[in-house]
Amino acid sequence: MDGTAGDVTAYITSRDLDPAKMPAHVAIIMDGNGRWATSRGKNRLLGHTQGYHTLKQIVYESNRLGLTCITVYAFSTENWRRSGEEVGGLMALMLGAMQAEIEELIQTGIRVRVSGRLTELPADLREELQSATTRTEHLPGLIFNLAINYGGRAEVVDAVRAICKKVADGVLSEEDVTEGLIHDHLYSPDLPDPDLLIRTAGELRLSNFLLWETAYSEIYVTPVCWPDFDPDTLVQAIADFQKRTRKFGTVVEETIP
């Protein structure tokens, strides 16, 4: 994170936010890149390129705000169904972006993490992501978690498979299987569940993103397409989050003035 805790608090306050009510983990469904481009008569890949520049702004703003983690939906398990041109362009864009940004991420103290079925990615992209994870794992700042070749159902399936193997091997028994055990076998069990889930471009669905982890996340939907999302829009989403009363399934008595 940039500067001292006092610097972060001062920055949060300067953005008209309450430092005591900041979300620790923000998850983002970065939707609308293709629509943004086609509405301008451009190729969809131009929208993804602009989306990359937006993501860079949001990562550094999140770090300045002292967030613990952001998880962004970069490429889903379903996105392989898109055209070969678009999929190839996305893989090349992600590779080039990580190569271009890794040194600045390191200098800023940001940790790179990746969630998903990485073995199915192109070898050069997989190696670059693994290198970035290793080079940044000791850094003290924001955790920047990229969900790539990620699906919420696939994540649960992979967790169940790993648990079933341990039961078959005699390491675990059926009675050992609890919500906590399943959580411990997810892709990133050490990360806190998202406090806030942001979706851009106005769609009202989860799209197979963090299905287990977002059970009690607050959801904020904006009509803004991802390429037009900016730090001010992020702050608006957090300000809305700070007005919420989180119940986690319990009854919370609200004081009537």
Q: Is there a catalytic annotation at residue 208?
A: no
Residues whose CB falls within 8 Å of the CB of residue 186, separated by 6 or more in sequence, listed in order: 155, 156, 159, 212, 213
Look at residue 69 and give its three-state secondary structure: strand
The Cα 52–Cα 157 span in angstroms is 30
The Cα 96–Cα 76 span in angstroms is 19
User: Contact 202/223 with Cβ under 8 angstroms?
Assistant: yes
What does the block give as tokens for 190? 């050490």
Residues whose CB falls within 8 Å of the CB of residue 240, separated by 6 or more in sequence, listed in order: 220
The Cα 153–Cα 130 span in angstroms is 23
Residue 247 DSSP symbol: -
Catalytic option among 79, 208, 228, 230: 79
The Cα 30–Cα 226 span in angstroms is 5
Instruction: Check residue 19 and give left, alpha or beta (phi > 0: left; psi -120 to 50: alpha).
Output: alpha
Element spanning 9, H or E: helix 5-14
Q: Is there a catalytic annotation at residue 149?
A: no
Catalytic option among 2, 7, 16, 31: 31
Beta-sheet strand order (sheet of 69-76): 111-115, 143-150, 69-76, 25-29, 196-199, 218-221
> Which residues have a catalytic role annotated?
31, 79
